[in-house]
Structure 1
Amino acid sequence: MRWLRIAIGLTVSLLTLLCLLPATADSGSGWAVLLDDQANLQLSDIRSERYRNQFSPIELDQLDAAEPNQALWLHYQLPPQQPEQVLRLFAPDLSRLDLYVLDGGSLSLQTHHGRQDDSGALNLSTNDHLLAVPSSSHPKRRDLPAGL
């Protein structure tokens, strides 16, 4: 009889644990995306309340390239005071990559990747990119909006 109570208790405990695991799963990767239909938005536009509310959470494995003459804006918030990090981006379909790092509310880093062709547009020469994200000295969150 004692073994039966132990077996029932163990079974109930395992079933409870299995039911709780999905509830504690990570709700997302922290990345959000905004589609720029005409590829004409600037960082100041993206930082406005109008566009900030239009970002949708996304898992990076579900991210598809934008159509020609469109742009994707990706957003990620880093925890404060993390050491310098490297963001690796492999994207064979990119023609241009801009990275903006906002520390608090101020722009702390702005990089543009690509080379100019005959028309003056930037084109990327490689599919694999390593971008250094500097550490923050402020106890605020750092935003990483990237225009792709």
Structure 2
Amino acid sequence: MASPMARIAADAQQLLSRLPQLLPSQLPLRRSPAQQPALRLPSYDLFGDLQQYALSSATVETLASIYKVGQRELQRSAQEQYFAACRKLAATDDGRDSDVVELYQQAALCRLTGDYDQAVLRLRERLLVEVQRAREQAASTSDAGRGNFSAEVVAVLEGA
């Protein structure tokens, strides 16, 4: 009778000899992180909204520039969040669930695009509320009527 160690060794050898038959012939290739879908975020302008206030062209340009800077910051933040999420997903991808990883990437893409659109809309609304508030404040001053409205609007918005 063979010793227990000899039986274990023989069984292990038999299992190892059948291992190539049990494994798939070729494992699927791992997707590279470069294959993640791009996060394309739209850019909006504020010119049409600002023109309803009969502002000077310099004021409109300044306010539109402030809006663009805020929008670029929101785009940068959304891009960073998206690529961080894709890196985390790629780290969990063993090559067998690439369809699931793609679904999660698509879900992250939709979520971050929606969050970005809402944030840009809030930025637009806040900026226009500040313009309206500054207009009302300038109109309520009794000394010079409109006063230096452009400087007031820019000062209020840059402080926001």
TM-score w.r.t. length of structure 1? 0.25
Instruction: Please identify which structure carries the higher helix content.
Output: 2
Structure 1 or 2: more strand by fraction: 1
